[in-house]
Amino acid sequence: MSSSASPRSLSAHTHNTFHIPADLAFLFTIRALDPDYAVQPGQTAGQFWVPPNLHNAYQTRPETWYRWVGGRITRVANNESARLANCEVFAAATVFTQMPDTPHLLAVPFDAQNQDVRDYPPGWRTLSFHHFPVNGDARRTYAFITYLGSEARVAGPGSPGIVGPLLPSVYHYHHTIDGNNREIPSEKDHAGLIGSLPVLLALAAFSATPSLLDQTLTRSVLPGTWHPHSFPGGYFQERGIVVTVYLDPSRPKESTRPLLEHLQNGGFGPFYGP
């Protein structure tokens, strides 16, 4: 089940000084997901391709385990990952590109190999955002990435080196043009990305090709920010990823559901800074 925040809960979690605790931790897995058209033929919604809506209409792929501690990621050794199958799930997401039909990303808040999307009433939805002011400052605005958001884009201009590689251009802030064809300055500044932890991690995975997943996660995901890389991009046709976030049993005090909710709600600052 997905963990999410309401505007009220998010506002209560923001404060003046942001700092990701060095010992805050969680585990997560990433698994590629490829449609099996022998089970369910390709389908469209309107004129655009959408992934299968049956849990058995995917080819099974191996998953890779990672550990996030204080904003930095390391790969979990194989001998340890074999013992982690029964960890408590915090949240999961399945995310697909819709290339080449559209640059949007489609997602559901669960592992699409464990649950039929046809039984989830919203179905496949394009990723979207809620806009939340940072500590009541209407100028500085977080983009809370989610599945049923009220906004289609981030709230204001952000760093091209961070927003650009992590989000397809369709999600970038677009300037409003006045009657004289002049740009109207934004009333908001993009203060960073927060929201669903599985989706935030999926964005990092999509930023490079699958063969460079380890290098991308361990080098570019840093505490509260994103370090741009020069790897080939990973937004290619019908690419699917499942990310599942778990509580880390080796750190029971530093890996709890309230702490991870606080993290994704912006209580420790942005997951990826502006």
Q: Can you read off the two tokens belonging to residue 114?
A: 């464990």
pTM: 0.90
CA 32/CA 198 separation, integer angstroms = 14
Each residue's pLDDT, cut to its tens digit, for the chain (274 residues) gives 444 444 444 443 444 346 899 999 999 999 999 999 999 998 888 888 999 999 999 998 999 999 999 999 999 998 898 888 889 999 999 999 988 788 889 999 999 999 999 999 999 999 999 998 888 787 888 999 999 899 998 887 776 667 778 888 888 876 555 555 555 566 678 889 999 999 999 999 999 999 999 999 999 999 999 999 999 988 888 899 999 999 999 999 999 999 999 999 999 999 998 7
Residue 180 has a pLDDT of: 55
CA 148/CA 145 separation, integer angstroms = 9
196: three-class secondary structure by DSSP: coil
Q: Residues 6 or more apart from 109 whose CB is under 8 A from it?
A: 1, 2, 4, 91, 92, 93, 147, 196, 198
